[in-house]
Amino acid sequence: MAWGQFSVTFAFEPHPAPVTASEREARLVDPAFGRVFTDHMAILHYSEDKGWHDGAITQRVSLTMDPASSVFHYAQEIFEGLKAYRLDDGGLALFRPDANARRFNASARRMAMPDLPEELFLESCERLVLTERDWFPAIEGGSLYLRPFMIASEAFLGVKPSAEFLYMVLASSVGAYWKGGARAVSLWVSHDYTRAAPGGTGEAKCGGNYATSLVAQQEAIRRGFDQVVFLDAAERRWIEELGGMNIFFVFDDGSIQTPPLTGTILPGITRDSILTIARDEGLVAREEPYAIDQWRADAQSGRLVESFACGTAAVVTPIGRVAGPDYDFAIGSGATGQLTARFLDRLTAIQRGRAPDPHGWLRRIG
C-alpha cells in the first residue's frame, strides 16, 4: 500500500488508551520544552543480516533492553532535532527535514552506524506528525518538536560497532523556548573545557558531545551565566559555538560573521538558513574564525554591535553579556539587537508559512 510518495514501511499500531482530549488540552496550556510527549513514537529495527525492518508508529512505551546493549557502555548514539509547525492556513509542515536526514547520515557514518535511507527518515517524521496532529499547542511559538535518534542495541561488551540498532522518533509538544519573547542571554567562555577537537566528533550530532559539555554548562550556571561558549581545542582562542547552538556576530557595517565549518562545529540548519537569508538580502555574511580577544575588543570599540546564538529549539537567541576568568563585557546595549530581531522574524515567518519561501524549506505534509 502506498502512503503519499512512500510505500508504507511503518505499520500503524494505534495506542489502545491515548490521553483523553481534556487531559491533552491541560498539558498543552504551558508545555515548556521537552517534557510533554505525545501518545505515539516511530520505531525501526536494524540488523546486519536484515537491514532496516519492522517499522511501526506505535504507542510510546518504555524500552526493554539488555543491560549489555552497547549504547550503555560505548555511547554509540546519534540524534536529530527538528520542528513541525501548524501553518496559518491550518496545514502542517516540517522545516528542512531533508537537511536533518542528510545530517543524520553524516553523523551515522562518523559513529560507525548504518545509513538510514532519507525516505525512511522523512516517512517516520511525517507519519508521526500526522498521527499526532492534535498535539500542536495552540499558543504563540508552539510547535511539535521531533527527536529522531539511533542507538546501538547489540548485547556484547566487546569494543566494536554494534551489529544491531534501533531508530526511533519521539514527538514533544513545545511552547516558545523563551517565554515572553527572546531575552538576551549571558555567556561564560570556558577556557578550561573544550567541546570538540580536530579529528573528533564535533560535527556529528551525537549524545557524547553533550555529555562532555555538561560540566562546562554547569560551571557557567554556577557562576551565574545562562550558557557556556566553547573555544577551539588547539589554540583556545577561536570561538566555536555554545553547547547546542551556533553563534553569529553582527558588525557596525551591517555585515555578519559566524565561525567556519572546519569539522569541530556542528553544521546547524538554522545557521545555514540565516546565512542564506542574509545573503538573499544582500548582506555580507562571512564564515571566518573570530577570536575571543577580538570579540572583546570589537564589543568595546563599538565595531561589534550584536551577537546571537541559533538552533532549532530556540531559533535565535540574543547575547547580551560575555565573561571569562578575567573579563566581562556587554554586547551592544545588552538587549536584543535590530538584526537579531530581524533574523528571528524572517525565519519564524517562513517557518509559519507567513512569508515567501524561495528555497522551498517548508515541506507541507497535510
Ligand X SMILES: *Cc1c(COP(=O)(O)O)cnc(C)c1O
Contacts to ligand X by CB under 6 A: 81, 205, 241, 244-246, 266, 268-271, 311-312
Shortest Cβ 229–ligand X spacing (Å): 11
Closer Cβ to ligand X, 46 or 248, answer by number: 248
Shortest Cβ 82–ligand X spacing (Å): 7
Cell of 36: 510533554
Closer Cβ to ligand X, 120 or 269, answer by number: 269
Closer Cβ to ligand X, 18 or 208, answer by number: 208
Shortest Cβ 245–ligand X spacing (Å): 5
In DSSP terms, which residues pair with 170 in a beta bridge?
A: 147
In DSSP terms, which residues pair with 319 in a beta bridge?
A: 185
Each as own residue / partner, the long-range contacts of residues 236-241 (CB below 8 Å, 24 or more positions apart, any chain) are 236/191, 236/194, 237/291, 237/292, 237/293, 238/289, 238/290, 238/291, 238/292, 239/289, 239/290, 239/291, 239/292, 239/295, 240/195, 240/196, 240/202, 240/264, 240/265, 241/195, 241/265, 241/266, 241/309
Dihedrals φ, ψ of 279, to 5°?
Answer: -70, -35
Closer Cβ to ligand X, 230 or 295, answer by number: 230
Closer Cβ to ligand X, 36 or 228, answer by number: 228
Shortest Cβ 241–ligand X spacing (Å): 5
Closer Cβ to ligand X, 162 or 213, answer by number: 213
Shortest Cβ 177–ligand X spacing (Å): 11
CA distance 299 to 324: 14
Shortest Cβ 266–ligand X spacing (Å): 3
